[in-house]
Structures are given as structure tokens and as C-alpha cells.
Amino acid sequence: MRFDILTLFPGFFDSPLRESIVKRAQENGAVDIHVHNMRDHTTDRHHTMDDTPYGGGPGMVMKADPVVRCIESLPREPQSRVVFLTPDGIPFSHDVAQELSQLDQVVLLCGHYEGIDERIRDGFVDMELSIGDYVLTGGEPAALVVLDATTRLLPGVLGHDQSAQQDSFADGLLDHPHYTRPPEFRDMAVPDVLMSGHHGEIRKWRRKQQLVRTWKRRPDVFRRAIFDKEDKKLLKELDISPDDNGTA
């Protein structure tokens, strides 16, 4: 899979792309990441990327021409999508990451200043994503979030492919608690069931923990979850209604 990151600050990505899972994904050929400086596509000697907004007001707006030139300079794969990172985009989620991971190419456009000329969005952007209801200095941190969340879903990227399947939101619920050695730490013990060797009981305990944790912490996610017959049985044991809004 190919990622193209369009930015005014390419140095922002130097360290993150050389660390951890993203680094390994590049080394094993799962992803091919290219960072592009949009200033390289300006036509004036000052490499001007912004101008004052029509209609007045504070701040500056990113100009359409250099951004579009940068987009059009890219080699494009058969299944390619240009994604603009913006606070007024649709919320980024696990489902969206899954959708992006099925593509051949994702172009991540990082905005700055007061935003980009609306004509870029109208004519050259396929999807607009937000990573939360807050404003960042630029789209670079959001681009890293989207890249990381999408990359780890690709086959062969994680050490164990089931790791991604068991993450929070992968099955519509939050993840269950995790423990490792030692069995007791500062008077806090690992639940006995996890050391019982009884895989059926362990699976049941973990699912119960997912249900309770989601119900308490993310009632919005709990409301959207789809429960099978086994889940409904566990919810009855927990005295939680599948239609409950949660207690958080």
C-alpha cells in the first residue's frame, strides 16, 4: 500500500516514520510512504503557499494552485483516495481505517492557517477526516494518526495478525484488560481465571470485561454494538440490558 503525505513541514515526519510498527511495515514492503513538500510546487521565488481570504477576516488561506499541482504530480494507483485532514471532516474511526486499508493508495493532505481554498475540497479531495473535536496547528499529527491506524491493519504488519482483530473497536467493543508477569504486583493480583488454563472460561471472562468496560466508559459505542446470542446471555448475567445507555 502506498501513502503520500502532502505537507508544508516535511521534517515533522522524520522521526515518526523511522520508529516502531510503521518503520517495520516499510522495511517488509507492506507500505511505501512518500512525504511531499507542497512548497516545491509554488511558482514564485518566495514559495508562497498562502494569501489573505476574500471577504476579509483574520488569518491566511492556503492557495489552490500549489496544492493542486502537488496532488496532480503524484503517481496514482488504481484504487486511490485523497484525504484532507480537517476538524470539520467525518470522525475517523476503526471502520474508516479498515476502509482505507483496502485501498492501493491514500494521499493525506495536511492543511494549515485558516484552512485551504474551498475549490481544492470541491474538486480534488475524495474524503475529509477529523480525529477529534479540537483544532490542531496543522494536519500533520492527524495524518500520522490515520497512517498508523491504517498501517497496522495491513496483513503481515503486526507480529500476530490476530492482534489487530482483538484491539478496541475491532469487534465493536472496547478491549478487555491485559496482564502479564508477575502474578502479583504491589498487592494487586492477576485474576485467577487467566491463570486457570481453562480457555473457555478465559474467553467468557474477557468478553464480559469488554461488555462491562464499553457499557461504563463508552455508552455511545455500546448503543451501536451488535450483540449475538452469547453476548446477550453474558449481559443477562451482568444484569445489563442490551438497550442500556450505560452509566458513564
| Catalytic residue IDs | 87, 114, 152, 167
Nearest partner of 117 among 67, 161, 154, judged by Cα: 67
DSSP track, 98-153: HHHHTSSEEEEEEP-TT-B-HHHHHHH-SEEEESSSS--SSSHHHHHHHHHHHHTT
Q: List the beta bridge partners of residue 127.
A: 83
Number of C-beta neighbours around residue 86 at 10 A: 22
Between CA 154 and CA 98 the distance in angstroms is 9
- 131 DSSP β-pair partners: none
Q: Supply 244's cell numbers.
A: 442500556
- Classify each residue of 211-238 as buried b or exposed e, where b means 16 or more C-beta atoms within 10 Å of its C-beta: bbbbbeebeebbeebeeeeebeebbeee
Q: Annotate 91-120 with b (16+ C-beta within 10 A) or e (fewer).
A: ebebebbeebbebebbbbbbbbbebbbeeb
Q: How far apart are CA 180 and CA 185, in angstroms?
A: 10
